[in-house]
Amino acid sequence: MKILKLSLTLAAVLVLAGCYESGSSDSNSSGGSGSTGGTGGGSVTVRPPVYTCPSNCQNVQTRTSCQAAESYYQVYVENARAGTAASTLEQLYDNHARSAGLARSMVQQIGCAP
């Protein structure tokens, strides 16, 4: 039952994250180590992802968790590029870190095999 709830929660996150980044043409490029802020006074250095899942993950539950972590990271990156306040960026990065920790645990415990 916990796995089902987790899967449904992660699916909802993915749907919302997909809606959030629908206007971005380069949403998958986290290239470069820095980014300039929009209206903020200066530039913001974009922190690297906490964990990157294997690209060949076939297990649906694990892959969904990995996609959620990646979505949280993309939301963080887009907000950093837009010049969002540092306190908000910290919260967004913490959300990514928690989700990435869950993804790492799932890769280690469940694995990527279908």
pLDDT tens digit string along 24-55? 334 444 444 444 444 445 577 899 999 999 99
Residue 43 near residue 31, CB atoms below 8 Å: no
pLDDT of residue 28: 40
DSSP designation for 27:
T
- 70: nearest Cα among 108, 20, 8, 36: 20
Low-confidence stretches of the chain (pLDDT beneath 50): 15, 19-40
pLDDT of residue 36: 41
Token representation of residue 46 = 């974009």
pLDDT of residue 12: 56
Specify the long-range contacts of residues 57-62, CB closer than 8 Å, at least 24 apart.
Answer: 57/107, 57/112, 58/112, 58/113, 58/114, 59/110, 59/111, 59/112, 59/113, 59/114, 60/7, 60/114, 61/3, 61/6, 61/7, 61/106, 61/110, 62/103, 62/106, 62/107, 62/110, 62/111, 62/112
pLDDT of residue 44: 78
Token representation of residue 70 = 């990646």
pLDDT of residue 14: 53
